[in-house]
Amino acid sequence: MPSKTNNSKDNKLNQKIAPASLRLDDELLRWYDENARDLPWRIAPKPKNKSKGTNKNTNKITGKNKTRSQHKRPNPYHVWLSEIMLQQTTVATVGPRFLTFLKQWPTIHHLAKSPVEDVTGAWAGLGYYARARNLHKCAQVLVADYDGKFPQSEEELKKLPGIGDYTAAAITTIAFNQYALVMDGNIERVTARLYREATPLPAAKPILKEHLSHYWPRPDKQARHGDFAQALMDLGSGICRPKNPLCLLCPIKGFCQAHQTGNPQDYPVKLAKKQKPTRRGIGFVVYNQKGEIALERRADKGLLGGMLGFPGTGWSETEKSILKQESKINAIAPLAAKWDYAGEALHTFTHFHLIMGVYVAKLETNPRRTKNYEWIVPHTAQLPTVMKKALERATDHFKNEA
DNA sequence: AATTCGGGGTT
DNA sequence: AACCCAGAATT
């Protein structure tokens, strides 16, 4: 816990920690030019010289970076897609998914004319599926009303589905190098440590923005807004980590109040989170004679909205007993069959644990596709993770039986 | 201002 | 287990 409450007087004091001759943005961008992560959606701040035995001088940038803001900009479509995928999702997870997605939909026009089911299918396993539905809707709006081009202001971007405060600012800075104050989880942490901000998140967010505004490059055409934002995020993920920050390697430690007079690990302060309840339910995995499984398209809103899933009961905290009695199972099953119990699939969502009892059956017929569910070859089904786990229970069951 | 949205990696 | 992640939309 922070040992002491912050106040504005401390902050003004703090800005004089570093020598007046040094500027945070200069130091950070200098670090970024040498240490920027190589990411599929990113244009490197400068070409990397990978040839061996050549110039090892790393301090090539000594003058003002006047032309830096005019280096090649990334494709706005790529920036937008990556930012949507990166919402609450790690760079390691997004990397390969981003490349696969781009291969399937090279431009926003391809994306806009594709069926939404193809887009949610490609999103399977990534989570937060409203992102996929909003992504598709946003593409259609941009093609229909914006000539397929992204607006360059935060205000206009925020009107689009799936684009909120962070993503609007990120696109404005990264794709167009316009001024916008970007505040994500990484930058929140860096800023909270710079100012040793004791107000807990999420209430601290506007305060942190105010703090950071003192350091953000002015709305100047020469300024490197996009690189500054990405540098802060790289710093947050690689140096100013939640635990065990590498302060000795930090290019802006001279500006950091937590590094100098506190414990960086204590920031940002966050409100305690509620503990997760456990819900229970039943899922039915049934194969037809061709080896296909019955899947239903879930409602467009709510959990796993618009995704494929197994027929089953709802998921409830009050239903304590897995119904093992065959008579009751037959009453709630999607169709008549000899149902076997295949065990539990365990999964944890953002706000609850799930224990799903899995029942399995094999038919010797091929029922028609109905309004409620369709038959799909298992290994081609684009399923959310919890449903993949249920399918795995079924697969294990028949493997052990054989 | 709180809650609802997934899933995987780290510690 | 708890925490975190280039958060947004809804209530």
DSSP string of A263-321, one letter each residue:
-GGG-S-BPPPPPPPEEEEEEEEEE-TTS-EEEEEPPSSSTTTT-EE--B---BSS--S
For residue A360, give the nearest of A340, A335, A330 by alpha carbon.
Answer: A340
Helix or strand holding residue A101 (H, E): helix A91-104
Write down the pLDDT at residue A102.
Answer: 98
Backbone conformation region of residue A379, classed left if phi is above 0, alpha if psi is from -120 to 50, else beta: alpha
Greatest distance between any 2 Cα atoms in chain A: 80
Write down the pLDDT at residue A127.
Answer: 98
Length of chain A: 402
**What residue spans define the domains of chain A?**
8-266, 278-401
* Set A27, A34, A83, A344: catalytic member: A83
Distance of C1' in C7 from CA in A91, Å: 15
Taking the C1' atom of every nucleotide in all shown strands and the CA of A37, the nearest one is C6
Write down the pLDDT at residue A69.
Answer: 47
Write down the pLDDT at residue A21.
Answer: 77
Write down the pLDDT at residue A227.
Answer: 97
Write down the pLDDT at residue A18.
Answer: 67
Distance of C1' in C7 from CA in A177, Å: 21
Contact A158, A164 (CB under 8 A): yes
Q: Indicate the CATH number of A278-401 among 3.30.450.370, 3.30.70.1230, 3.40.50.970, 3.90.79.10.
A: 3.90.79.10
Write down the pLDDT at residue A370.
Answer: 79
Write down the pLDDT at residue A51.
Answer: 42
Write down the pLDDT at residue A22.
Answer: 87
For residue A215, give the nearest of A245, A190, A239 by alpha carbon.
Answer: A190
Residue whose pair of structure tokens reads 């190589």 in the numeric block: A38
Tell me which nucleotides of strand B come within 7 A of a protein CB.
1, 3-11
Q: Which residue is nearest to nucleotide C9 (CA to C1')?
A: A162
pLDDT along chain A (402 residues), means of 10: 39 54 93 96 73 35 41 92 98 98 98 98 98 98 98 98 98 98 98 97 97 94 95 98 97 97 95 93 97 97 97 86 66 93 97 97 90 92 98 95 75
Write down the pLDDT at residue A320.
Answer: 57
CA A135 to chain centre: 13
Whether A197 sits among the annotated catalytic residues: the reply is: no
Check if CATH label 3.90.110.10 holds for domain A8-266: no
Distance of C1' in C9 from CA in A56, Å: 50
